[in-house]
Structure 1
Amino acid sequence: MNGTEQARVMRLGLENVSDGELVRPLAIEAPVAIEYNGLGYAVMMATPDHLEDFARGFTLSEGLVDSVARIEAIDVHEIADGWIVRIALPPEAMEPVIARARTRVSESSCGLCGMDNIAEVLRPLPRIAATIQTTREAIARALSRLHHHQPMGLRTGAMHAAAFCAPDGTILLAAEDVGRHNALDKLIGAMAREGRDAATGLILLSARCSFELVEKTVRAGCPLLVTISAPTSLAVDRAAQAGLALVALARRDSVLVFGDPQHVLLQEGEA
Structure 2
Amino acid sequence: MVPSFSIVPRKSWRAEAARPGMTNGMRGIPEETAIVLTYNGGSHAVMMASPQDLTDFAYGFSLHEGIVTRHEDIAKLDIVEHAEGIELRMWLSEDHSQKLNERRRHIAGPTGCGLCGLESLSDAMRPAPFVSGSGFVMSPRQIMQVLSAMPRLQNLNLQTRAVHAAAFWEPSAGLVALREDVGRHNALDKLGGALARMGRSGSGGAVFVTSRVSVEMIQKSTVIGAPVIVAMSAPTALAVRTAEAAGITLVAVARDDGFEVFTHPVRIEEDVAAHVA
Indicate if the aligned counterparts of 1:176 and 1:183 stay in contact, CA closer than 8 A. Answer: yes
Change (3 A) 1:55 1:113: closer
Change (3 A) 1:270 1:140: closer
Task: Indicate whether 1:134 and 2:138 are aligned.
Answer: yes
Secondary structure of 1:12's aligned partner: strand
Q: 2:101 is matched with which residue?
A: 98
More strand by share: 2
d(CA) in 1 for partners of 2:116 and 2:158? 35
Q: 1:42 is matched with which residue?
A: 45
Q: Please, what TM-score do these two structures have when normalized by structure 1?
A: 0.90
Change (3 A) 1:25 1:188: same
Unaligned runs of 5+ in 1: none
Task: Indicate whether 1:33 and 2:40 are aligned.
Answer: no
Q: How does 1:220-259 map onto structure 2 within 5 Å?
A: 220-259=224-263
Alignment length (residue pairs): 266
Tell me the amino acid that sits aligned with residue 122 of structure 1: M
Coordinate RMSD, CA, aligned: 2.3
Q: 1:182 is matched with which residue?
A: 186
d(CA) in 1 for partners of 2:172 and 2:18? 42
Q: 2:85 is matched with which residue?
A: 82
Q: Please, what TM-score do these two structures have when normalized by structure 2?
A: 0.88
Secondary structure of 1:125's aligned partner: coil
d(CA) in 2 for partners of 1:3 and 1:201? 28
Indicate if the aligned counterparts of 1:138 and 1:168 stay in contact, CA closer than 8 A. Answer: no
Stretch of structure 1 that moved more, 169-178 or 40-49: 169-178
Tell me the amino acid that sits aligned with residue 48 of structure 1: P
Secondary structure of 1:18's aligned partner: strand
Indicate if the aligned counterparts of 2:48 and 2:109 stay in contact, CA closer than 8 A. Answer: no
- Cα displacement (A) at 1:97: 2.6
What per-residue deviation string (whole Å, max 9, x for no partner) do you get for residues 122-175 of structure 1? 112211133311111110110010101111112111110010011379211100
Unaligned runs of 5+ in 2: none
d(CA) in 1 for partners of 2:201 and 2:260? 26
Q: 1:208 is matched with which residue?
A: 212
Indicate if the aligned counterparts of 1:130 and 1:199 stay in contact, CA closer than 8 A. Answer: yes
d(CA) in 1 for partners of 2:164 and 2:222? 20
